[in-house]
Structure 1
Amino acid sequence: MTALTRRYIDQVVAHLSEGQREGISRELAALISDMQEERLATGADEAAAEREALEELGDPARLAARYRNAPNYLIGPELYPVYVRALQWLVPVVLMVSLIVNIVVYSATEAEANIGAMIGQIVGPLISALFWILGSVTLFFWVFERVARPRDKTAVARDGARHWSVDDLGIEMAHAREARSEAIGGLVMLVLLALVPLIPTSFFYVGHLNDGGPFVNQGLWNFWLPAYYVLLAVEAMLGIWTIVRGRTTRPRLAARAAMDVVAGLFFTVLVLTQQVIDPAISSGILQTSGATDWVDVLYLVVIWVVVLWDLYVCVKYWRTLGVPERLVTA
């Protein structure tokens, strides 16, 4: 059994209960072997015969759904992959829109915003939005499952489910979900970083430090803060690139590593040459406590720990891409 076939079988049985896995694993191995033999008899080479057999069996998740003894609760096995895919795309979008809208509404209606009141204001609507999207999508598929004609369900299952091919079993795809999840998390972090220069001290109940002004020195708008937002915009485009491609690629990793170095140098020069914290805070609590002697060193340590860690992750991903297939024994 080749590594490719082994991975296909592993992905199928991963969707099954423990009691089914061993028997279905043996059954699938025998079935794939027979399908390959049929193709070899027609003159196909081994690699092509294996690929054609796996392509005929199709998406491991959908094949596993046909092997299950129990139905997929409210949604049948034919539409279940489409249902899951719809939730994977809609839930993050709805939650993000709800979060942004509630933050904007809170900021616009409160004279003096603070983090405690804001959290209390947005948690309820976020939970409501989550239940609303889960219920709406589930109800839609439940109704469609029962009223649609068989050919319509087949068409939706074919067009709505993620297109699957044998290439999805490649080693690169082992990191596809991780790469997409990391990119989405990175975009959320970029949004938070974009807000940092704008957050007033009163938001964290310490407005007395500088009369409720931002933590960051607003004199940096002459060059440094616009350049900061340009860096964030480039990072956001790289993240969107990863989400659209659905996987990490070597050009993406090279661009990410280059941006890490550029960002590290940018923040190093910023910390060493500019007053980052609002002068009213620096001349107050930081000066009184003597923290000004070591706070810049702390900034630099944090900056380069983050940069070096991300470079390490890039190197690790780079080394896993393009690893050649090897035969393994069953």
Structure 2
Amino acid sequence: METIDRYIYAVTQKLPQAQRKDIADELRGLIEDMLEERVGIANIKESDVEDVLLELDSPNELAEKYRGTKKYLIGPELFDSYILVLKIVLIVVSAGIGIGFLIQTILDPISILDYFIDMIVSLVTSLPMAFGWTTFSFAIGERSGEVKRKDLIGQEWKPSDLPPIPDEKRQIKRGESIAGIIFYAIFIAFLAFSSDYFGIWVFQDEFTGVVPFLNEQTYGSYLMFIILLFGFGILKECLKLVSGKWTYKLAIVTIIVNAVSMAAIVFIINGPDFWNPEFMNELAEAGVVTVGSEAFDIVNKVWDQLTFWIIILLVIGLVWDAVDGFIKARKK
């Protein structure tokens, strides 16, 4: 019966991922046994199902009994997902920094000591921040879920109050959120350690260097803010993972995070000292283009409009992310 399915779903969604299937099977068997004992299999009515579910208690209180009532920073309901995401974030950040170190060493082995010191500094800077953002994100999810459960525990409830099992189109696949977290973690690793390789790579028979897009003299002052921005991205994806489905509340949070990120990005990349002011001159000195040539004029035009198009693409992406969330939240 649909009511039984909704009840089991409501209970198991509040339990650790690893326990959900076993407890769902156990709970379904318990309900069927109670119904058989009460009225027999052939004569089950909706009212009999409601009586049995009322006897079992509300989904929140039953989930609390399965889970226990101990206090947690990250409770059992979210702990499995938290550990999975934390491992992914730390591994991706560490691997990204390590790969950057290897590339730098291969291209310029003489400076290996400098690169090694930079790698250690980047690990010390990035890993605690990645750990903190991930833990902070799940702690917010835990607190909000705990407040909601406390509000419902002790209140009278009816099986008709059970929320419907969400449409598949509203559900947020774990893989999508995890892919987003990996994306942000890769950028944190890259921008924290290998930003000087973010530019035009120059080869003349062999690798001769990079003409950087960013202003190496001032980039350090922006780095912390950039990492914080990508940390907000991790926060957003963690909240999606915790929620498991699109809701209006989640869509509003997504809009707020996207708006703050958008404003910060526009402020940063519009700054006079963010981009390399000598980019075109360095490109010409490296022999990539010749001053006065048609290629030089085209590249110069693209360079002048780079900030504008980055902002346009970011606005489109972030607005679509928010609109898509509202569209999916409306689905029943």
TM-score, length of structure 1 as denominator length: 0.47
